[in-house]
Amino acid sequence: MNIIKVGLKFSSIKYPSLDIHNYQLYKYHSDYGNLLKGLKIGTSLLPNQYEIVPSKLKGFLIDQLKQDQQMLKKPKEVLFVGRSNVGKSSLINAILGQKVAETSSRTGSTLRLQFHNIQTINGFVVDSPGYGYSQINVDAQKYMQGMMYTYTKLSSRLARIYVLIDIEHGIKDKDKVMLNMLQEQNVNIQIVLTKCDKIKERMLYDRQLYLAREIKQFKNIHPIIHTVSTKDNFGINDIQYSLIDSFLIHQSRQLFNMEDRLIKLIQARNRPQKLDLNKLTKQFKKGLQLPTNQNSLVHSKKPKHQLS
């Protein structure tokens, strides 16, 4: 990784990456940057791994753990998470240079974990359902959030989580709750500030600084914050290089007692535990401790109208 430091002149708006330790702006570049020209997006290695709904998560994770015990070099996965309508799918499309993730004006339209295989580097970019306000069924939303959180706890291939924050609205309480839960998962977290085209140029650096100071309080946070806009492609090149480093330099997080995890997964019920982010946010506001070791897959009756 090469990081080019620049001064904080007005023209420094051209440099979208910020170090949360020294608050300097950077132009992020990867030593493997030549791979950008050769990125090829393909379907998943296994057909049933392309899109995962809550009822298929258990089988997916069992297959993954079994395969990883036999592989010398397992594929890596990088997950994108964020509030509904923060621009996850649009950003993934911009990074990969083609429309592979579905976008919609309907808030909460991503209903599955969507795996996009980058053949060049044997890795997967994973799009996830948004958390927070959504226009979908409330019960279904809890299952989606539970599926995403369970995946972050149990996937043996997860190398990094990109948490997207709308730079205009800042870090909301639900973002803080999610970051509190994710920071316990022994995986590197990198913050991406989206929709920076909505902020006036002269105010952008101040906004980056303000959010950087908030972000520093969390653990396992990557020191570089990316700022992007899919409207004019600002910062897209930086996060492309960052993604390549996530796959080629950073290791997947270490999960211990793999056989025990596999046995527990096989014995667990099929559907993931529902995650009520609204309830957890209320607990967070009251200063109550958030759960960090709840069971990942438990039995829950499926309503007749529920998405599978």
Q: What is the pLDDT of residue 81?
A: 94
- The span from the first CA to the last CA of the chain, in angstroms, equals 42
Q: What is the pLDDT of residue 259?
A: 65
Q: What is the pLDDT of residue 4?
A: 44
Q: What is the pLDDT of residue 46?
A: 43
Instruction: Give kind and range of the element (H or E) at residue 153.
Output: helix 138-154
Please, are residues 228 and 234 in contact by the beta-carbon 8 Å criterion?
Answer: yes
Q: What is the pLDDT of residue 282?
A: 84
Please, are residues 95 and 137 in contact by the beta-carbon 8 Å criterion?
Answer: no
What is the tens place of the pLDDT at every residue in 13-60?
A: 567 899 998 988 888 888 877 777 666 665 443 443 468 888 888 888
Please, are residues 231 and 194 in contact by the beta-carbon 8 Å criterion?
Answer: no
Q: What is the pLDDT of residue 136?
A: 64
What is the tens place of the pLDDT at every residue in 287-301?
A: 766 655 444 444 334
Q: What is the pLDDT of residue 45?
A: 39
This prediction has a pTM of 0.84
Q: What is the pLDDT of residue 308?
A: 36
Ranges in the chain, pLDDT < 70? 1-14, 37-50, 102-110, 133-136, 253-259, 261-262, 269-271, 288-308
